[in-house]
Amino acid sequence: CFIPFHFREAAANLLTIDEIDPIGKIPEFKFCAVRIEPAEARTAVAADETRVGESART
């Protein structure tokens, strides 16, 4: 599993704690406890259906 989290405003960062490393000024994900649970099944998306998310930088 890979989730990009290079920008503090990215969606992955909204799932974690707000603390940052005092020297590197990067999120302290290594110290964030998580619980992962399976999501509900989704129906297939039609080929002509476009889904657009928000930019992590906005």
User: Around Cβ 54, how many Cβ atoms within 10 Å?
Assistant: 8
- Which of helix, strand or coil describes residue 6? coil
Query: Per residue in 3-57, pLDDT tens?
Result: 666 666 666 666 677 788 888 887 776 676 778 888 887 776 666 666 556 655 5
- pLDDT, position 17: 75
Distance of alpha carbon 39 from alpha carbon 34, whole angstroms: 15
User: Which helix (H) or strand (E) is 13 found in, with range?
Assistant: helix 11-14
**pLDDT (0 to 100) of residue 29:** 67
Amino acid 34: pLDDT: 73
The predicted model scores a pTM of 0.31
